[in-house]
């Protein structure tokens, strides 16, 4: 459930393709915003 919420947030912020590619990393870094900033 938490992963789904983060996935939805990422889809809004970064786009569906990006969140799909990073779904594995979400399990390790669910709220690590600086981590995702590096990817964009």
Look at the chain and report how many structural domains it folds into.
Answer: 1
pLDDT at 16: 59
Answer whether 40's CB lies under 8 Å from 14's CB: yes
pLDDT digits 0-9 by tens, 1-40: 677 787 777 777 766 555 555 555 555 555 666 766 676 5
Query: What's the predicted TM-score (pTM) here?
Result: 0.30
Q: 6: how many CB neighbours lie within 10 A of its CB?
A: 19
Q: Which domain holds residue 13?
A: 2-39
pLDDT given at position 9:
76
pLDDT at 40: 59
C-alpha–C-alpha distance, residues 2 and 39, integer Å: 21
């Amino acid at each position: 459930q938490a992963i789904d919420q983060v996935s939805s947030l990422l889809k809004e912020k970064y786009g569906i393709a990006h969140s799909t590619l990073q779904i594995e990393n979400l399990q390790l870094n669910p709220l690590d915003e600086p981590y995702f900033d590096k990817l964009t």
